[in-house]
Homo-oligomer: A and B are copies of this chain.
């Protein structure tokens, strides 16, 4: 694996448990134990999830006695925001044009078979 920092960040964010942990940590630091309780997962699994967040540099872990306190790194979230915002001009100027494109594609016999079921 290359040292794809942004990729590691997105991979860490792809799991709903880890995103819920991020939301929890956005309201303040918490111990591993405190993070385990609301999620109905084993302590070992929570530790694994935290390890992914730490590896992605989204969370900082620090020992305090027998506890490990997890803290959310604000910059990590900002990196994601920056990535998305770099396409802001694209999506803003596309919202009206896309309508036309979709109509064109439907005329061209869309080969998409599976329903997405929004």
Q: Copy number of this protein in the oligomer?
A: 2
Alpha-carbon distance between A106 and B94 when the two chains are bound, in angstroms:
48
Residues of B within 8 A of A85 (CB): 81
Alpha-carbon distance between A56 and B11 when the two chains are bound, in angstroms:
14
Residues of B within 8 A of A101 (CB): 29, 71
Quote the shortest CB–CB distance from A19 to chain B (angstroms): 7
Interface status of A38 (Cβ within 8 A of chain B): no
Quote the shortest CB–CB distance from A45 to chain B (angstroms): 16
> Pick the contact of A61 from B10, B83, B112 — CB < 8 Å?
B112
Which of chain A's residues 5-63 have a Cβ closer than 8 Å to chain B? 6-8, 10-11, 13-16, 19, 22, 26, 29, 54, 57, 60-63
